[in-house]
């Protein structure tokens, strides 16, 4: 049965009627379907390339904005009040743009860059060399993060943990000093209060008047 059906199909294809249908209808339909699949694949590939290009441009723009803020932060002590306000605004905007990037460790990178910028502002007063070194580290770190986000994320996390530990120790020392100062102040105030109370008691003591007797 199957063999007979196959033979009939082959005869139909070889016939003038069958060949006309195949070449006039079936082949164009297949060509349209195949062409649609190819066009869809090309469009999908082009869309991926476009999205990837836009992502790279967004990454480069955000990183460049942070590095530009770093250059200004390195000379923070020489800026005017208006310039400092503009740099702070620019740095905050760039930090938000970095956090919104579809990259691993975007938040960690933004935190790391913010800490670097703060350090550069402090070091720009007396330690210009240190500020320049921080700027170089900021540039290298952000560029490396853009190229290899997974590796740079680990380095950023290690730096943040180290800074947090150092800051925690400094805060503990400050708390101890504040407590010692408060205790010393309380002791001095208590001593002054005691001395003042003793002085007032002596001044208000009753005076005994001795009257000579008349014999």
| pTM over 0.85, yes/no | no
8 Å CB contact between 116 and 134: yes
- What totals of helices (H) and strands (E) does the chain contain, helices first? 7, 0
Question: What does the pLDDT read at residue 62?
Answer: 84
Q: What is the DSSP letter of 77?
A: G
172 HSE (CA, 13 A, CB side) = 6
Cα–Cα dist 67/63, whole Å: 6
Digits of tens for pLDDT over the chain (215 positions)?
667 777 767 776 677 776 777 777 777 788 888 888 888 888 888 878 877 777 778 888 888 888 888 888 888 888 888 888 888 888 888 888 888 888 778 888 888 988 888 888 888 776 567 778 888 888 888 888 878 877 777 888 888 888 777 665 544 455 445 556 566 666 677 667 676 666 665 555 454 444 555 54
Q: Is 104 left (phi over 0), alpha (psi -120 to 50) or beta?
A: beta
Instruction: Yes or no: say if 73 and 91 are a contact pair by the CB < 8 Å rule.
Output: yes
How far apart (Å, rounded) are the C-alpha atoms in residues 149 and 109?
A: 9
Other CB atoms within 10 Å distance of the CB of residue 63: 23
Q: For residue 170, what pLDDT is reported?
A: 46
pLDDT at position 210, please? 46
**Phi, psi of 84, rounded to the nearest 5 degrees:** -65, -40
- Reading the block at residue 7, the tokens are 């033979």
């Amino acid at each position: 049965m199957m063999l007979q059906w196959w033979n009939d199909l082959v005869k139909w294809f070889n016939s003038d009627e069958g060949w006309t249908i195949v070449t006039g209808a079936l082949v164009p339909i297949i060509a349209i379907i195949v062409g649609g699949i190819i066009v869809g694949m090309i469009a999908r590939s082009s869309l991926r390339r476009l999205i990837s290009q836009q992502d790279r441009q967004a990454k480069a723009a955000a990183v460049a904005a942070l590095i530009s803020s770093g250059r200004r932060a390195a000379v923070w002590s020489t800026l005017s009040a208006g310039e400092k306000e503009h740099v702070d605004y620019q740095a905050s905007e760039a930090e938000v743009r970095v956090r919104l990037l579809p990259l691993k460790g975007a938040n960690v990178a933004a935190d790391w860059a913010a800490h670097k910028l703060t350090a550069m502002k402090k070091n720009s007063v007396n330690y210009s060399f240190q500020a320049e070194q921080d700027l170089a580290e900021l540039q290298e770190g952000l560029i490396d993060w853009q190229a290899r986000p997974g590796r740079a994320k680990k380095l950023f996390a290690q730096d943040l943990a180290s800074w947090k530990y150092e800051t925690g120790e400094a805060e503990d020392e400050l708390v101890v000093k504040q407590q010692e100062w408060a205790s010393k102040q309380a002791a001095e105030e208590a001593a002054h209060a005691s001395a003042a109370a003793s002085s007032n008691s002596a001044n208000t003591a009753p005076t005994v008047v001795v009257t000579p007797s008349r014999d």
